[in-house]
Amino acid sequence: MEYTHYYDSPLGKILLASDGHALTGLWFEGQKYFAAKLDPDHEEKNLPVFGQAEQWLALYFNGKIPDFTPPLSMKGTPFQKEVWEELLAIPFGQTTTYGKIAAEMAEWRGLASMSAQAVGSAVAHNPISLIIPCHRVVGTNGSLTGYAGGLEKKKWLLTMERQAAGIVV
């Protein structure tokens, strides 16, 4: 059974999902792939993991770097999970590119190259936005490309993080 809970953020409602123990989803209401991996038979319930996620989100939206991560359970292919693990390593206030992630993953696997588009697809299907920071991935030239929550939200999130981290742009 899966459970859901809503959180009101400065950027609109966020739907949280859980398997009862770990967070399985975090989507801005109406975003692309909204609740894509959510079991149709779910019920709204307040769980401890939702309290942890709300604490994390409150810190984050107040420009603070959360010093913990709620328990996560990523639903996806092995490749998607590898990409999402890479996203977790992107520091607050910083960005990387799809191509850089692809090159790093190719190197670990001993491959000559890997498709940045394949990485982009995995990033786009990240079911736990914000906590798994897919908004920190940009195009090769630094352009704000692709964000399931919308480019205005991506711009807001990156600007907030850079200001909070004292990064001058």
Check pLDDT > 90 for residue 141.
no
pLDDT higher than threshold 70 for residue 162: yes
Q: Is the pTM of this model over 0.95?
A: no
Q: Is the pLDDT of residue 140 over 90?
A: no
Distance CA 74, CA 25 (A): 8
Instruction: Single out the residue of 7, 91, 92, 95 nearest to residue 57, CA to CA.
Output: 7
Among 17, 26, 134, 158, the active-site one is 134
> Annotated catalytic, 41?
no
pLDDT at 91: 96
CB 54 within 8 A of CB 62: no
C-alpha 133/C-alpha 138 separation (Å) is 11
SS3 content of the chain, % helix, strand, coil (to 5): 40, 20, 45
| Among the listed residues 127, 129, 140, 137, the one whose alpha carbon sits nearest the alpha carbon of residue 158 | 137
Number of Cβ within 10 Å of residue 160's Cβ equals 17
- CA–centroid distance for 163 within its chain: 19
Give residue 34's pLDDT.
Answer: 77
Residue type, 112: A
pLDDT tens digits, one per residue of 62-119? 999 999 999 999 999 999 999 999 999 999 999 999 999 999 999 988 989 999 999 9
pLDDT digits (tens, 9 = 90+) for 15-73: 999 999 999 999 999 888 778 778 888 899 999 999 999 999 999 999 999 999 999 99
